């Protein structure tokens, strides 16, 4: 009889509680060379913690191996490519982390006197100036703590501007190729949302837009490049149409990493935009933060920016709270300051040419992936793409394989999945963004895996439909998990 062998703990790691053995210790101390004292008598019983019931008793090597094995379960940018479209999950140089940890910056207190904050103020002033130059805008606020809050700030500015003109107006136009947070933002500010359908190329249609722009329209929220990775080539014409009716143009700058050093939104008619520093300009991205969503505006919106604003005086940089038209604070203190330091370090280290090269590399990588995968996956929109490419699962769906199945099978090949089923404008979307981080060798490995999955779909679709096969947890029932989530673990 063959005895069943348990799987190696790398794949089936027990809890430390399950490893515990009574009396085992992770340390060894020499014998006392002073009289033994009762801790409760010496310190007072109220100051002595009781023993923790059931606390794991394990050796040092068991502790080390346990947490090291757990760490191998995490996928990280240090391990491989994150092909998540629309998220720009790239590697960020470690020098930026080092700069953010300098004592004078990392330990600057928000309540310290302004005379003691000149270094921090200089960082903010230089970053504002750099972002103004990169975007072609006239002023920047660094307060918003994330892209979504940057959106909210931008539309609040738009509303404040219209109210100053005597009419806040009623509607915001949003193309179907815009980021999904845009409609929510407009609704939070009190606007009705009107959807604008894209044309067959996945772009804004100026004629459709012109019919939609009325005196009730406050502005448009356009993502450029849009969520298909396509540049809105009629953006200047769209701006003219909006401006002719007194409306404004808001640009979602989450995809600005496809434009830096190549094109400036301020030059093609954008009035207000946000930037995701944690996507384009180097900060840890994911895990809920930190983030930063600065907002850049043209001069007619500058009076409404959140207060306070940095102001140059004879005594140095100061905070100006005398802003009668300001929308007020959107974030405590000065925003996520550590993120601002990292972003400025990234910009200065690259310089103008380096930032442009990063953009070019991101666009090149995405187009290389497009060319290699076009024979295997459907490309619903064939307009030239920039930093990301969006396929659909229509070829594989004929064999019963959907985008979610392909993504799960990709895990078996050692890769983090791409963005699944987004943008909604593409049914069964596979959205891939390699960023400038990846070299040809890594991209080829990813592409070869996706080609292999496409071929598996043709020859043995059940292998793909039942993936993943090599993970600690096999395919879960996502419908049941969504409808009946288990939020508390019971041993």
Q: Do residues 404 and 421 make contact, with C-beta atoms less than 8 angstroms apart? A: yes
Query: Comparing C-alpha atoms, which of 234, 268, 175, 260 is closest to residue 383?
Result: 234
Query: In angstroms, what is the C-alpha Rg of the chain?
Result: 27
Residue 320 pLDDT > 90, yes or no? yes
Model confidence at 225, in pLDDT bands (50, 70, 90)? Answer: very high
Please report where in the chains the tokens 């954008």 appear, as a residue: 270
Q: What pLDDT is attached to residue 476?
A: 86
Strands 272-275 and 248-253 turn out to be: parallel
pLDDT at 1: 44
Cβ contact 390:144 at 8 Å? no
Domains of the chain: 16-71 (no CATH), 94-349 (3.40.640.10), 357-481 (3.90.1150.10)
Residue 5 has pLDDT above 60, yes or no: no
pLDDT band at 3 (very low <50, low <70, confident <90, very high): very low
Mean pLDDT, residues 422-443 taken together: 95
Parallel, antiparallel or unpaired: strands 429-432 and 295-297: unpaired
What average pLDDT does range 124-136 have in this prediction? 98
Average pLDDT over residues 295-306: 98
Residue 358: is its pLDDT beyond 80? yes
Residue 288 has pLDDT above 50, yes or no: yes
pLDDT of residue 7: 47
Which DSSP symbol is given to 148?
H
Q: What pLDDT, on the 0 to 100 scale, is given for residue 76?
A: 85
Residue 84 φ/ψ, nearest 5 degrees: -65, 115
Structure confidence at residue 283 as a pLDDT band (50, 70, 90): confident
Has residue 236 got a pLDDT over 50?
Answer: yes
pLDDT band at 2 (very low <50, low <70, confident <90, very high): very low
Report how far Cα 401 is from the mean position of its chain's Cα atoms.
Answer: 28
> Which pLDDT belongs to residue 286?
62
pLDDT in tens, 13-50: 889 999 999 989 888 889 989 999 999 999 998 999 88
Confidence at residue 9, expressed as pLDDT on a 0 to 100 scale: 52
At 372 the three-state DSSP class reads helix
Angle between helices 337-373 and 118-135 in degrees, nearest 10:
30
Q: What's the whole-number mean pLDDT along residues 377-383? A: 96
Interval 399-422: pLDDT, tens = 999 999 999 999 999 999 999 999
What value does the mean pLDDT take over residues 337-348? Answer: 95
pLDDT in tens, 60-100: 999 999 999 888 888 888 889 999 998 888 988 889 989 99
**pLDDT attached to residue 8:** 52
Q: Residue 129's CB: how many other CB atoms inside 10 A?
A: 12
Please provide the average confidence, as pLDDT, over all residues in the chain.
92
Helix (H, G, I), strand (E, B) or coil at 326: coil
Whole-number pLDDT of residue 131: 98
- The pLDDT value recorded for residue 491 is 59
Question: Looking at per-residue confidence, does 206 or 25 come out higher?
Answer: 206
The pLDDT of residue 324 is 97
Instruction: Give the pLDDT score at 6.
Output: 46
**Position with higher pLDDT, 357 vs 278:** 357
Percentage of the chain beyond pLDDT 70 is 96
- pLDDT for res 289: 63
Among 385, 145, 186, residue whose Cα is nearest residue 275:
145
Distance CA 323, CA 306 (A): 8
């Amino acid at each position: 009889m063959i005895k069943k062998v348990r799987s190696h703990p790398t794949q089936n790691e027990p809890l430390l509680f399950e490893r515990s053995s009574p009396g085992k210790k992770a340390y060894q101390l020499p014998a006392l060379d002073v009289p033994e004292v009762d801790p409760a008598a010496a310190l007072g019983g109220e100051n002595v913690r009781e023993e923790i019931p059931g606390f794991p008793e394990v050796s040092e090597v068991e502790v080390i191996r346990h947490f090291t094995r757990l760490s191998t379960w995490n996928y990280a940018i240090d391990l491989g490519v994150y092909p998540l479209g629309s998220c720009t999950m790239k590697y960020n140089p470690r020098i930026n982390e080092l700069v953010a940890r300098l004592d004078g910056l990392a330990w600057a207190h928000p309540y310290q006197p302004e005379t003691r904050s000149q270094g921090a103020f200089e960082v903010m002033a230089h970053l504002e100036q750099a972002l103004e130059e990169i975007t072609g805008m006239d002023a920047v606020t660094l307060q918003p703590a994330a892209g979504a809050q940057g959106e909210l700030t931008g539309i609040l500015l738009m509303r404040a501007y219209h109210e100053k003109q005597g009419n806040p107006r009623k509607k915001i136009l949003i193309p179907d190729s815009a980021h999904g947070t845009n409609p929510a933002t407009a609704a939070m500010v009190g606007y009705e949302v009107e959807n604008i359908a894209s044309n067959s190329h996945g772009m804004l249609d100026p004629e459709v837009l012109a019919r939609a722009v009325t005196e009730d329209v406050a502005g448009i929220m356009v993502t450029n490049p849009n969520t298909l990775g396509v540049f809105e080539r009629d953006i200047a014409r769209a701006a003219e149409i909006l401006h002719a009716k007194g409306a404004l143009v808001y640009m979602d700058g989450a995809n600005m990493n496809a434009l830096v050093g190549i094109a400036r939104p301020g030059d093609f008619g954008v009035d207000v935009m946000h930037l995701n520093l944690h996507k384009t300009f180097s900060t840890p991205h994911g895990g809920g933060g930190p983030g930063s969503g600065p907002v850049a505006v043209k001069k007619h919106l500058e009076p409404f920016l959140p207060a306070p604003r940095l102001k140059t005086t004879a005594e140095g940089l100061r905070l100006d709270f005398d802003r009668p038209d300001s929308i007020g604070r959107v974030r405590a203190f000065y925003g996520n300051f550590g993120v601002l330091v990292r972003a400025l370090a990234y910009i200065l280290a690259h310089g103008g040419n380096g930032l442009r090269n990063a953009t070019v590399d991101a666009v090149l990588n995405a187009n290389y992936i497009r060319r290699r995968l076009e024979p295997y996956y459907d490309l619903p929109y064939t307009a030239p793409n920039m930093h990301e490419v969006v396929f659909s699962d229509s070829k594989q769906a004929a064999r019963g394989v959907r985008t979610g199945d392909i993504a799960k099978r990709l895990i078996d090949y050692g890769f983090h999945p791409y963005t699944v089923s987004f943008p909604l404008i593409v049914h069964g979307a596979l959205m891939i963004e390699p960023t400038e981080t990846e070299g040809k060798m890594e991209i080829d490995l990813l592409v070869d895996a996706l080609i292999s999955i496409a071929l598996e779909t043709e020859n043995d679709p059940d292998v793909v439909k039942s993936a993943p096969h090599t993970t600690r947890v096999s395919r879960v029932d996502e419908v049941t998990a969504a409808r009946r989530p288990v939020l508390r673990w019971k041993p």
